[in-house]
Amino acid sequence: MPERLFIRLPEDPSCAPETTVPANTLTAFAVPARLRSAVAHVMAYEERFAPGHEAVERVLPDGASRLLIALHRDSATVHVAGARADAVLLAMGGHVHGLSVTLKPGALPALFGVPAKELAGLTVPWEDLVPSAHRHLGEQLAASDDDAARVQHLLASLQALQRPADPSRHLVEHAARRLSDTMGGLSVRELAAELHIGERRVQQLFAANIGLAPGVWRRLQRLHGTLRLLRTTRTAETPRWAEMALDAGYCDQSHLINEFRSFCGLTPQQLLQRAVSGSSNTGAGRFT
């Protein structure tokens, strides 16, 4: 069964350029101002596979929690997926149609009153997390005429669920942003000093608002930074992995390879080869 890649970093529109999923199957929707503190990205996807044809999609981790909506002919299921730091393999076939809402740090407690660590690595039905008045969202989505209408219903439900902001939320937002900006270059101790709090408090903030330990988030941001460095490599050139490892903050090339295997299930060279080989079939899938 053929395997393809899906990657999306925060600055990417619908997907990363190295994604090998057909770009015309993805549609991004604007996030209204009133929800931008909780929602990072909204996307619809729809694809039809020929009878007897299937694919495996390797989704690389971004560390975010999200809502996953699967749309069927007469029904829709809504799930909340907690943060994870490993690749997910999805079997794709038939008619695949749904919505994906990427949440920001702090969104799970703000929307559902649940610490992010309780959902880390889990996928939980929407109905298990919301008050009874909001448990019929799946029926509303199934009855909607198109994806734009479904997105409006979904965002309205999220707006109604929003709780007052936790005063400490700005701390974890700043911490997450700093680790991204520095490619994970700050230690937890340095981050705590910047925030004028203790290391234990940093651990608590990440557990409550992101669901991943700050050390894991830090490693994930270094991986994302390495993917950005790869985008500056010409397609015909083989990256100088030892140099790139040091530029990205790894100890050496072996450290780089081990981290890619841990997060992606692939070595960096394998990921690069799949992204480039998939580009001729999808119109995406290129490192520039």
- Residue 6's pLDDT band, with cuts at 50, 70 and 90, is very high
What is the span of the domain harbouring residue 156? 3-161
pLDDT band at 279 (very low <50, low <70, confident <90, very high): low
Residues 271 and 260: beta-carbon distance below 8 Å = yes
Mean pLDDT of 248-266: 97
Question: Is 180 a domain residue?
Answer: no
Side-chain half-sphere exposure of 73, counting CA atoms within 13 A: 2
200 within some domain: no
> Phi/psi class of residue 280: alpha, beta or left (left: φ > 0; alpha: ψ in -120 to 50)?
alpha
Reported as a pLDDT band with limits 50, 70 and 90, residue 275 is confident
Q: What would the mean pLDDT of 223-244 be, rounded to a whole number?
A: 86
The pLDDT value recorded for residue 288 is: 44
Tell me which residue has tokens 């651990």. Answer: 203
Predicted local confidence at residue 166, as pLDDT: 87
Evaluate whether residue 74 is within a structural domain: yes
Q: What share of the chain is helix, strand, coil (3-state, %, to 5)?
A: 45, 20, 40
Instruction: Return the pLDDT at 234.
Output: 59
Chain segment 161-215, per-residue pLDDT in tens: 999 878 899 999 999 999 999 999 999 999 999 999 999 999 999 999 999 999 9
Say yes or no to pLDDT of 268 above 70.
Answer: yes
Would residue 68 be called left, alpha or beta, if left means φ above 0 and alpha means ψ between -120 and 50 degrees?
beta
CA dihedral sign of residues 126, 129, 134, 135: positive
Put simply, whether the predicted model's pTM sits higher than 0.85 gets the answer: yes
Model pLDDT for residues 29-41, shown as the tens digit of each residue: 999 999 999 999 9
Report the pLDDT value the prediction gives residue 2, as an integer from 0 to 100: 83
Q: Mean pLDDT, the chain, as a whole number?
A: 93
- Amino acid identity at 27: T
Strands 54-59 and 3-6: parallel
Residue 281 has pLDDT above 50, yes or no: no
Q: Which alpha helices (H) appear in the chain, and where do they start and end?
A: 107-112, 137-143, 147-161, 169-181, 188-195, 199-209, 214-230, 241-247, 253-264, 268-282
Q: What does the alpha-carbon distance between residue 105 and residue 172 come to, in Å, rounded to a whole number?
A: 7
Q: Tell me how far CA of residue 112 lies from CA of 65, 67, 69, 158, 277, in angstroms.
A: 12, 12, 17, 9, 41
Q: Which of the residue ranges 4-8, 242-246, 265-269, 274-278 would you say has the lowest mean pLDDT?
A: 274-278
What's the pLDDT at 47? 96
How many domains does one find in the chain? 1
Q: Is residue 237 part of a domain?
A: no
The secondary structure of residue 92, as a DSSP letter, is: E
Mean pLDDT of 226-236: 81
Tokens of 220: 């994930």
Burial 85-100 (b: 16+ CB within 10 A, else e): bebeeeebbeebbbbb
The verdict on residue 119 lying in a domain is yes
Residue 271 lies in a domain: no
**Residue 117 located in a structural domain:** yes
Evaluate whether residue 27 is within a structural domain.
yes
